[in-house]
Amino acid sequence: MDISSVKVLWPEMLTDGAAFLVLFFYHFHYARRVRSAPTKTSLGMANHLRQKWVRSIMSENRDILGVQTLRNWVMASTFLASTAVLIDMSILSVAFRPTEKMVMISQTLNFIGSESEMLWLFKLMTLTVNFFFAFFNFTLSIRYYNHAGFMIDIPNEDPELTDGAVTEVINRGALHYFLGMRGYYLAVPLTLWLFGPLWLLAGAVILITVLHKLDRTI
């Protein structure tokens, strides 16, 4: 790579690096927050409430309510998984048959950095991997919710099946649902990345600002 190419790429590399570091450190901090003070985070509080819900369902033998709720969660995960894979197929069709007009539109708003078509295709493939990540997490959440549907119907006299064991399975499904939704959220800055690194950084900052309000309870 010659010096002129480096001069063109270094502003984009710095901006892209800053955007991904912001996203990484926020989620790293949030993961530690969930472990250290779970009730102050939306994810930790939801896990706590699901434990109380499972205990209520199993102790009062409200099996129908439990199965209906799990069915709703399965339907939501199924819809989001199907949508993710459809978006992936659409992105791959664009990546395999890119048109000059599409590339030109994205480069029009690219104020700094490279205008290489190969880099544009790399950004598309990154977006594809992100939606595949969302798809697999939603399918795993369906798997755990289906297991919980069988477990929650078993009479609570069974000593091997406690409400804690059922809660753990449901919370695993909920964690994969949470990760799948993160994939959808991350698609916003990654899509903006197609128009240039400044758009990626702006999208990352806006996303973190919104998530900061959504991810905490107080």
Dig out the tokens for 194 from the structure: 């197609």
- How far is residue 156 from each of residues 43, 56, 130, 151, 172, measured CA to CA in Å? 27, 11, 40, 10, 21
189: pLDDT strictly greater than 90: yes
Give bridge partners of residue 41 from the DSSP assignment: 216
130: pLDDT strictly greater than 90: yes
Decide if 74 contacts 142 (C-beta within 8 A).
Answer: yes
Decide if 192 contacts 200 (C-beta within 8 A).
Answer: yes
Decide if 77 contacts 142 (C-beta within 8 A).
Answer: yes
pLDDT at residue 210, as a whole number: 94
Of all residues in the chain, the percent with pLDDT exceeding 90 is 51
Average pLDDT, the chain: 85
